[in-house]
Amino acid sequence: MEHLISSKDMAQFVASGYLRYEDMVPKDLCEACREEMVNNKGYLAVGTPFEETWPKGTALGDVFRLPAVKGLIHSLVGPDPLYDHHAAHLMRAGQMKGPDMHQDSVIDFRENYFDIQLSFFPVDTPDEMGGTFLVPGSHFRNVRTGEIRGYQHIKGKIWATCPAGTMYVWNTRVWHGARSNHTDQDRYMYKLRLNPSQPQVRLFDTSDLDDPEIGKILSTNHGWEGNEMRYELMQRIKQWRFVSDQQDYDVGERFLRRIEYNPATAVA
Ligand SMILES: O=C(O)CCC(=O)C(=O)O
Ligand SMILES: [Fe+2]
């Protein structure tokens, strides 16, 4: 499989919950997608193989079959993911949005497994246009949808300001929301959610799996963690152990050791 993401990128996905790709989609295809998005409503067959549900020969169908996009999908949810849902998000010209922080997953509290969402911006999306915001690293904090709506500004929050053709891929559990569109142009964002159909273990390019940078990437502090950083790091290490199939992996002060050390069985 070509275009798999590197182990370092995977570590970044585990730590921050998202990756950003500029120039993922060629400009002519972007324009065709924007036209298609205007009329694209309703779900396809939820829970069936993505390859069978997604319409071939459509502009959006072509986007999700670009080799780089397929490689990205394969790296995170495997070669045969299931279609979960899609949505053509539209923020009208001049449309204001109040506090909107939320998490999409609602009932998905499984350990290790995660769904992904691809957010594709088919037109240039400057800051004033209100691209989707994300709170990097928040995906281990499971809440129920809008329970967090009161938190509008969080240290470390980022938002999509990007040229047409940019794609973000994110763990469905990342806290996020829509922003106000202060321009006189409608803002479009196409979101596709996929479920893994096999354990997400070593699906990415593992040739740099032993790179010492990985520990540093996993330890990224996004700004909001504060003293809770240790707790976040533990969650990330657990997920890294799973995706990399390195059951003893640990970093720094080896926090997981404290949980795993069992005084009842320890030999003096
Ligand atoms: O419109 C947006 O930017 C946010 C959309 C959203 O909440 C989502 O894609 O789940
Ligand atoms: Fe959402």
Q: What is the pLDDT of residues 92-104, one digit of tens each?
A: 999 999 999 999 9
Q: Is 230 in the pocket of ligand 1 (CB under 6 A)?
A: no
pLDDT exceeds cutoff 70 at 10: yes
Three-state secondary-structure class, residue 118:
strand
pLDDT exceeds cutoff 70 at 163: yes
Ligand 1 atom at shortest distance from the alpha carbon of 179: 3
pLDDT exceeds cutoff 70 at 120: yes
Q: What is the DSSP letter of 162?
A: B
Q: Report how many domains make up the chain.
A: 1
162-199 residues labelled b (16+ CB within 10 A) or e (exposed): bebbbbbbbbbbbbbbbbbbebebbbbbbbbbbbbeee
Stretch 76-103: mean pLDDT, rounded? Answer: 94
Position 144 in a domain: yes
Q: Is residue 22 a contact partner of residue 121, using CB atoms and an 8 Å limit?
A: no
Q: What is the DSSP letter of 125?
A: B
Confidence band (pLDDT; 50, 70, 90) for 111? Answer: confident
| Residue range(s) defining the domain that contains residue 77 | 7-195
d(CA 268, CA 263): 9
Q: Which two tokens stand for residue 7?
A: 């182990």
Q: Is 104 in the pocket of ligand 1 (CB under 6 A)?
A: yes
Find the CATH number of the domain harbouring 151: 2.60.120.620
Stretch 171-175: mean pLDDT, rounded? Answer: 96
Position 83 in a domain: yes
Ligand 1 atom at shortest distance from the alpha carbon of 176: 7
| Residue to mutate (ligand 1; options 152, 191, 192, 193; most atoms within 8 A of CB) | 191
Per-residue pLDDT, 257: 81
Position 205 in a domain: no
CA of 133 to the centre of ligand 2 (A): 10
pLDDT exceeds cutoff 70 at 41: no
Mean pLDDT of the chain: 93
pLDDT exceeds cutoff 90 at 259: no
Position 122 in a domain: yes
Beta bridge partners of 118: 169, 192
Beta bridge partners of 188: 90
Q: Is 84 in the pocket of ligand 1 (CB under 6 A)?
A: no
Position 128 in a domain: yes
Per-residue pLDDT, 46: 86
Per-residue pLDDT, 138: 96
Position 233 in a domain: no
- Taking the CA of 103 as reference, the closest ligand is 2
Position 240 in a domain: no
Position 209 in a domain: no
List, as one string, the DSSP characters of 5-64.
PBHHHHHHHHHHSEEEETT-S-HHHHHHHHHHHHT--S---TTSBHHHHSPTTSHHHHHT
Least confident of 7-16, 115-124, 140-149, 193-202: 140-149
Beta bridge partners of 193: 85, 117
Name the residue at shortest CA distance from atom 7 of ligand 1. Answer: 177
- Taking the CA of 180 as reference, the closest ligand is 1
Ligand 1 atom at shortest distance from the alpha carbon of 119: 9
Task: State the alpha helices, DSSP H only, in the chain.
Answer: 7-16, 27-38, 50-53, 59-63, 67-77, 213-218, 229-244, 255-260
Beta bridge partners of 189: 89
